[in-house]
Amino acid sequence: MAARPAPPGSRPRRETIETKRSTILAPLAARLRKDRRLVVLIAGVLILGFILGIVTDFIRLGPSEVALPANALSIDSEFIRIPDGDSMWDYYYLVATISNGVTDPSVQPYEAVVTFQTNSGETMGHYPSAGDHKATPFIFTFPDVGRTFTLPAGSVGYSEPSSGMAKWTARGESDWESRPIFRDQASFVLEIRIVDGMKPSLSTVVTVAWYYHSAIQVYPVASRTVETSTMLMPSGRLST
Distance CA 96, CA 77 (A): 5
Backbone angles phi, psi at 34, to 5 degrees: -65, -45
Distance CA 237, CA 234 (A): 7
Distance CA 228, CA 239 (A): 11
The per-residue pLDDT for 43 is 57
pLDDT in tens, 161-198: 988 899 999 999 766 678 899 999 999 999 999 988 88
Q: What average pLDDT does this structure show over 94-98? A: 95
> Pairing mode, if any, of strands 173-174 and 177-178?
antiparallel
Residue type, 62: G
Contact between residue 62 and residue 215 where contact means Cβ atoms under 8 Å apart: no
- pTM for this entry: 0.73
Distance CA 222, CA 163 (A): 32
- Spatial CB neighbours of 28, under 8 Å, sequence gap ≥ 6: none
Backbone angles phi, psi at 142, to 5 degrees: -110, 90
What is residue 69's DSSP assignment? P
Distance CA 19, CA 25 (A): 10
Helix runs in the chain, H state only: 10-55
Q: Residue 114: which pLDDT band, with cuts at 50, 70 and 90?
A: very high
Q: What average pLDDT does this structure show over 118-135? A: 87
Contact between residue 167 and residue 94 where contact means Cβ atoms under 8 Å apart: no
Looking only at Cα atoms, what is the longest distance across the chain? Answer: 134
Task: Give the three-class secondary structure for 120.
Answer: coil
Terminus-to-terminus CA distance in the chain, angstroms?
119
Whether the CA torsion 72, 75, 76, 82 is positive or negative: it is positive
Q: Where are the domains of the chain?
A: 16-59, 73-234
Considering only residues 86 and 239, tell me which one the structure prediction assigns the higher pLDDT: 86
Q: Does domain 73-234 have CATH number 2.60.40?
A: yes
